[in-house]
């Protein structure tokens, strides 16, 4: 990881990671229209006869309502389903994967944004590096900005480490790279 930077603003603050890359095929990045398999965001859970599983008929063992596992009034096959449907998130909708670690007493603990009470992720998508589908080697730097109003209230003076991976359109993942140990104050842009 080349750079980690914190930019406080009047609105949501930015945490920016910059990662250098080399790719032999040049198939990094996703366009906004790449939403069909394998890049589809969700899989709709169905029962053993193929019906969508709604919150009203959720089986035992299904999660309670949260915005990661349930979608309200989704559009499925070009029709709005007026119900709350159980879904599974497809990790391949993303091409950059971010993990946060907090260091306390010399030990790292992963800070999992997808768990309660946040139910979110900072995994995301960056645009295609090359517009052509013809493979060619490419190298450069990806700058990825994460917006939140909670960076300071959550991490305060904690020591953090951020791990990053990227994935190409063939679903090959890079090695994971880690930031050095930092605090928000140390990486604040002046």
Instruction: List, for residues 104-122, the tens digit of each pLDDT value.
Output: 999 999 999 999 999 999 9
φ/ψ (deg, to 5) at 154:
-85, -45
pLDDT digits (tens, 9 = 90+) for 10-49: 999 999 999 999 999 999 999 999 999 999 999 999 999 9
pLDDT digits (tens, 9 = 90+) for 130-181: 988 788 999 999 999 999 999 999 999 999 999 999 999 999 999 999 999 9
Give me the DSSP letters along 61-113: TPPPS-TTTEEES-EETTEE--SEEEEEE-GGG-SEEEEEEEEETTEEEEE-T
Q: What's the predicted TM-score (pTM) here?
A: 0.93
Query: Which residue ranges make up each domain of the chain?
Result: 3-32+92-178, 42-89
**pLDDT score of 125:** 98
């Amino acid at each position: 990881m080349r750079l980690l930077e914190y930019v406080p603003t009047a609105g949501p603050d930015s945490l920016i990671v910059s990662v250098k890359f080399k790719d032999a095929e040049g198939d990094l990045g996703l366009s906004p229209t790449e939403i069909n398999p394998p890049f589809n965001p969700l899989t709709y859970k169905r029962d053993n006869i193929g019906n969508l599983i709604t919150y009203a008929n959720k089986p035992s063992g299904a999660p309670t309502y949260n915005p990661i596992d349930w979608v309200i009034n989704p559009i499925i096959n070009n029709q709005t389903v007026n119900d709350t449907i159980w879904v599974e998130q497809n990790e391949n909708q993303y091409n950059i994967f971010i993990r946060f670690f907090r260091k306390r007493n010399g030990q790292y603990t992963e800070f999992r944004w997808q768990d309660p009470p946040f139910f979110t992720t900072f995994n995301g998508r960056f645009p295609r590096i090359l517009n052509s589908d013809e493979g060619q080697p490419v190298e450069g730097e990806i700058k990825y900005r994460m917006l939140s109003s909670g960076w300071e209230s959550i991490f305060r003076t904690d020591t953090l480490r951020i791990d990053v991976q990227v994935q190409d359109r063939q679903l090959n993942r890079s090695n994971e790279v880690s930031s050095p140990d930092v605090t928000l104050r140390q990486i604040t842009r002046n």
